[in-house]
């Protein structure tokens, strides 16, 4: 178990490029083998290269847990088939006008938080594909719940602007303890700089000591 600092493409915004669960990590095609090997070591999972809409920005374009994955409608059918074959997960395109599905859904294996921007059809699809209960939630003035929460089966790191009562509500919705933190020297969109599973986590290289303490507390890593 551990928490490590990392960068990708000389950027600390590692969550923009990757998406993981307890069994695997999706990374952009063409990522250097040395980087992939180090990520596999840090997170304790295999690394699978892929793309969505020929983009390497996997974080905003995929929501995923241990049961399934929903990808942006920008993905082509070959990419969907490739992810399904490589991961063994239930994989579908989210039927929504919104393309940044990873910014609109945060999930562990039992519960999913949805942006209020998603309609009932999309909510049912999240429930069916990801095998979770679903709850809509906004965070302050933001609707991008997937960008503001990193959830695992053991904890959740959440937007630092939430009050104690709001954090408690998120904890109850996800079924795990949640704790507020930022990443990369104060960035409140925690998913932009944090990738985690139930045992390990990787944070952006600019994340400070106090932030690492908060992340460790949030995710129990």
pLDDT tens per residue, range 62-109: 999 999 999 999 999 999 999 999 999 999 999 999 999 999 999 999
Structure tokens of 206?
């600019």
Give the position of tokens 């040395």. 34
Entry pTM: 0.96
**Residues 10-19, buried b or exposed e (16+ Cβ, 10 A)?**
eebbbbbbbb
Confidence of residue 141 (pLDDT cuts 50, 70, 90): confident
Q: Total domain count for the chain?
A: 1
Q: Which is it for strands 25-28 and 19-20: parallel, antiparallel or unpaired?
A: antiparallel
Residue 120 in this model has a pLDDT that exceeds 90: yes
Domain that holds residue 163: 2-219
96, 152 contact by CB (below 8 A): no
Per-residue pLDDT of 148-163, as tens digits, reads: 999 999 999 999 999 9
How many alpha carbons lie under 13 Å from residue 50 in its C-beta half-sphere? 29
Residue 1 in this model has a pLDDT that exceeds 80: no
So what's the pLDDT on residue 96? 95
So what's the pLDDT on residue 45? 98
CATH number of the domain residue 94 falls in? 3.75.10.10
So what's the pLDDT on residue 140? 81
115, 63 contact by CB (below 8 A): no
Per-residue pLDDT of 19-34, as tens digits, reads: 999 999 999 999 999 9
- Separation between Cα atoms, residue 193 and residue 139, nearest integer Å: 18
* 68 Cβ neighbours under 8 A, 6+ residues apart: 89, 90, 91, 92, 129, 130, 131
Strand, coil or helix: 178? strand
């Amino acid at each position: 178990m551990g928490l490590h600092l990392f960068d990708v493409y000389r950027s600390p915004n590692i969550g923009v490029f990757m998406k993981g669960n307890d069994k695997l990590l999706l990374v952009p095609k063409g990522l250097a083998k040395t980087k992939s090997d180090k990520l596999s070591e840090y997170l304790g999972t295999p690394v699978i290269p892929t793309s969505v809409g020929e983009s390497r920005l996997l974080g905003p374009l995929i929501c995923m847990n241990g049961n399934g994955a929903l990808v942006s409608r920008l993905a082509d059918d070959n990419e969907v088939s490739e992810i399904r074959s490589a991961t063994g997960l239930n994989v579908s395109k989210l039927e929504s006008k919104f393309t940044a599905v990873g910014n609109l859904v945060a999930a562990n294996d039992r519960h999913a938080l949805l942006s209020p921007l998603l309609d009932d059809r999309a909510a049912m699809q999240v429930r069916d594909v990801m095998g979770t209960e679903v709850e809509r939630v906004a965070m302050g003035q933001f609707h991008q719940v997937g960008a503001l929460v990193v959830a695992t089966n053991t904890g959740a790191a959440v937007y630092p602007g939430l009050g104690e009562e709001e954090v408690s509500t998120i904890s109850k919705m996800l079924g795990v303890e949640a704790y507020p933190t930022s990443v990369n020297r104060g960035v409140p969109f925690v998913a932009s700089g944090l990738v985690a599973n139930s045992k390990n986590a990787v944070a952006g290289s600019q994340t400070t000591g106090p932030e690492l303490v908060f992340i460790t507390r949030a995710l129990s890593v």
